[in-house]
Structure 1
Amino acid sequence: MRIEGGTGRPPARVLLRGGPDGWHCVVVDDAGGERRTELAAPGTRWSGRRDDPEPPWWRQRLAETAAGLRGLVGERLTDATFGEFGAEAAISWFAVDEPVEWEGLVTLGEPDPARFPGRVAPFVVTLEPGRGAVLPDAHLLFSTRAADAWTTLDAVAELCGAPAPRDAFVCGFAGHRSVRVGRGSLALSTEEGADGVERLAEIVGARAPGWGGNPELRLRLDGVDLLDDPAADVVTLFRDLGHEVVERGRTARIPAMGLNLHEPDPPSPRAGRFTTVSLHFPSAP
């Protein structure tokens, strides 16, 4: 989803509305001009059987959808505003009819210094197959106990000025938490070993195409920028280094490393670059 410029005037307000068939936003400029963008999200109508009432959790699902769309609209609007006016656009949201209708007031500000190459150092995660990963101020090894892994994520959140890590259920793992790094995310999953101790089992880094935020998340392995170099070049390089690369659809796997590389899932267009990288301890051959 892209919010286009085109009125020639800076934005002043944003309206976000959900309806039975979908969601849209309307950007209102400082002279009252409007431009509407349809958003790729399911509608607000409960899609169960005709006579079924809305389940108790449905309103919470709508609230989560709205929260995600507010974040997405904020990112796309500030990108468009920076491209057209050289300024960032911060949105202060308030509910009109929670959770399906929101209005935001737009404040323009100085451009983020991370917009300019070399001004802000990226947050580099160096992957080490069979061992784990090296962060700017910490090591995450597959021998790391769960409590220490979560403490490391807390420290990442503080370093990056991000909200506290989020806990989520992921099938097959004992625990899963993620933290925002710029516009990307770093996630850790744990599993319980045969000795009954819960340890780090998987490291996942993700970043959508476009500007990576402040700081920008980088995933590196053997000097290769896994999220920045073209996907085809990454695959070719690892093959040239003698690794078996298994490609299926938009996913490339290197089983001997425990490395998985993913482009965006359909219906999103192929980005030409990987947007998600996961590393786990390699399985025995």
Structure 2
Amino acid sequence: MSFSGNDVSNVQLFQMHVSLLESFFGREWLEAGIRRRSQHPAIKNLLLAHAMCQNNGRIPTSPAFLMSVMPDVVRLLFDGIVLSKASGGNTSSFTLGDFANYGDDEVRKRIDAIKKISNEFNSLMTELAYGAWHQMRGHKVTAYDAKCLPDFRVDHHKLPLPIITDCKRIGQETLPSRYKRVVAKTNKQIKALGIDGYGLALLDVSEKTRTVATQLNDNAVPQAVEEAVDCIQRELVHCHKSVSEVVIQWDECAVLGQDKPGGWMKALVTMRRRHRIIPHPNARFPLKERLPIYPEFTTMLGVK
């Protein structure tokens, strides 16, 4: 099986992703990570890309393989687009830019300092994905370099104040108390910036909701999301007024196949990004206008 609708071969596609990872992390660091069996997400992506190249880009027709591996392939491709776009590179060839369009030298130093730390890298990718989404819509994104400050601000032409944003990826084993600490820290970072704006804490909980469906999902909300919403709503009642909203974000994957003897004849893999908005009931600067400022989309990859 192969991907449908591509102008390049499967092998070329995964080779471009290997080159992108090598440009961002350095080949020596990646090779050392493979030798020590690092669990860093970039090492996992590199091994997946290598495995696909070694198989000449062929996609086995086994439903079990498609269910277990293809969601990771979709995430690999999506991460490649994020890195290319956020850095100012070419999203068609998955090349890395110099991040000049995202921030100054100090911001690039911050990125270099955290990208090789597993949990920091996950949050960095959440930050870059949200920043790139705004850049693609013509909004000005200004990133910050200090740990005591939020990740970036977004100047939206339809809003009188900037959106001051801090992004975090929540791990699978994270306890509910983590949400309280993240919201409290974001509130402190927004206040430290010292400007008026709509404070936003963007929390990606995809690791907690990671399941693969065999049919396109309805609008049911995962239990892990409901638990996060409940915890954060209780936390926002009396404090953290610099946080205008908390947004819970997660991805849903589905693999749909057409049967034939011995496997699937063709398949469709989807990744749907969803979110829940939790407004602060007493925010200093509430977001009264409900504009499309949070990504919600479906990515589809045909395999045949």
TM-score, normalised relative to structure 1:
0.30
Considering only CA atoms, is the larger Rg found in Structure 1 or Structure 2? 1
The structure whose residues are more often helix, as a share, is: 2
The structure whose residues are more often strand, as a share, is: 1
TM-score, normalised relative to structure 2:
0.29
